[in-house]
Amino acid sequence: LQHLLALRDPFYGQSGLYNSLYENMLTIDSISLHNGTAGIILSGSAFSRGTCDDPRIEGQIAQTVLAVPGVSNVVIILNGMQIGDQRGPNFFPETGFGISLPFVLFWERNGGIPVFGYPISQQLFEGGYRVQYVERQRFEHHPTNSAPYDVLLGLLGTQVAQSQGLLSAPAFAYQQPNNNNANCEYFEATGHHLCYGFQSYWHNHGLDFGDPGYSYRESLHLFGYPISEEFVMNGRTVQYFERARFEWHPQNSPPWDILLGRLGVEVHPWP
């Protein structure tokens, strides 16, 4: 890659093949490999000469990396966003970060700031995937999945509960169904109940898969299953889900009396 980026001839070698990177001013910040996927983090400018050069630039870098034995996939991040992103980032001065492809459309379509909060990181390479942290979540790009499942949400509720040693607490223990309360529903998959205001909130929010209203699958993909019962933590009633933490704020007027915990900040501290 260093050799490729150092070439200054627009037509390279005896074949005279066009080199779209001849005017680049790129720096390789880091390279990592995870299960056959190489993450290439670059900064600087590629000096594209137009829309035809954009895929050439990405292709030259990707094909150079794919020539390395053991590499089957390449993720390229330039200046904290997907290389070749013509849309540009939605920049938020509140945190100093922007959201760009492949996450910005998902962020806009599924709730934006009220659901996910502001971006708190650039795009990163973690666990073999392109990711970006927002205040309440982690977006993960899974390019082998068909839309709308190509962008998934991290299991931050489970991750935070585990890191805080909560999974062994009584509220997280598997429960038997309580059939005496009509205001609750039971999730056999995790052995927990969902009741009252939290139940209403869960069913009235979800990802946009095109279903009428908010379907069960849309709510499930946004929050996941409950992994605890309601309990009091730091003086506040909360409940953990695979991808979220619901918090009751009785001093707020509806609909702001139920808020989502800032799990993204807890996993990826900012500032």
pLDDT digits (tens, 9 = 90+) for 196-221: 999 999 999 999 999 999 999 999 99
Region 226-234: what's the mean pLDDT? 98
Give residue 87's pLDDT band: very low, low, confident or very high (50, 70, 90): low
Region 114-136: what's the mean pLDDT? 95
Which of 14-18, 122-126, 236-240, 255-259 has the lowest average pLDDT?
14-18
Give residue 86's pLDDT band: very low, low, confident or very high (50, 70, 90): low
* Of residues 197, 194, 196, 190, the one with CA closest to residue 172: 190
Dist. CA 123–CA 140, nearest whole Å: 10
Give residue 68's pLDDT band: very low, low, confident or very high (50, 70, 90): very high
Region 31-38: what's the mean pLDDT? 94
Give residue 8's pLDDT band: very low, low, confident or very high (50, 70, 90): very high
* Of residues 71, 66, 65, 68, the one with CA closest to residue 37: 71
Average pLDDT, the chain: 94
> Which are the contacts of 63, defined by CB distance < 8 A and separation ≥ 6?
none
Dist. CA 111–CA 219, nearest whole Å: 12
CB 238 within 8 A of CB 231: yes
- pTM (two decimals): 0.85
pLDDT reported for residue 136 = 97
Region 16-36: what's the mean pLDDT? 94
pLDDT reported for residue 246 = 98
